[in-house]
């Protein structure tokens, strides 16, 4: 809605300028020139508005990209930290697993006669 209002203001300013020029001088003789000049002013104003709006949008998109890149870097560092924590837990788990396997082998060797009732 805000952009539509700005465009409407530019249009109104162009026609007001045309009207001032047409009534400021001999009205009948200069009406086509005043309308043409008003349209020229409106066109230049619209082009200037589009150019400045394009620059603003470009700056905003660069700012948004920088913010997104910063968030991505932060998330990637968090993921790397969690990955290192998981790798540490994996090492601990594998060490515990080896210990349990060794204890299991010892237990099975000591209690093999209880497990096999046919012997």
Please list the ranges in the chain whose pLDDT falls under 70: 1, 18-31, 113-119
Per the structure, the count of domains in the chain is 1
Q: Share the mean pLDDT of the chain.
A: 82
pLDDT for 56-66, tens place per residue? 999 999 999 99
Phi, psi of 37 (to 5 degrees): -65, -40
Q: For position 15, what pLDDT does the model report?
A: 73
Does the pTM surpass 0.85? The reply is no
Residue 77 domain boundaries: 2-115
């Amino acid at each position: 809605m805000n952009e539509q209002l700005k465009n409407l203001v530019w249009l109104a300013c162009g026609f007001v300028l045309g009207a001032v020029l047409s009534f400021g001088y001999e009205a009948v003789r200069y009406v086509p020139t005043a309308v043409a000049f008003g349209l020229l002013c409106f066109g230049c104003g619209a082009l200037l508005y589009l150019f400045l709006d394009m620059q603003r949008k470009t700056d905003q998109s660069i700012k948004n990209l920088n913010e997104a890149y910063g968030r991505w870097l932060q998330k990637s560092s968090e993921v790397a930290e969690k990955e290192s924590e998981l790798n540490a837990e994996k090492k601990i788990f594998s060490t515990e697993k080896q210990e349990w396997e060794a204890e299991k082998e010892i237990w099975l060797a000591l209690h093999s006669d209880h497990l096999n009732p046919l012997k």
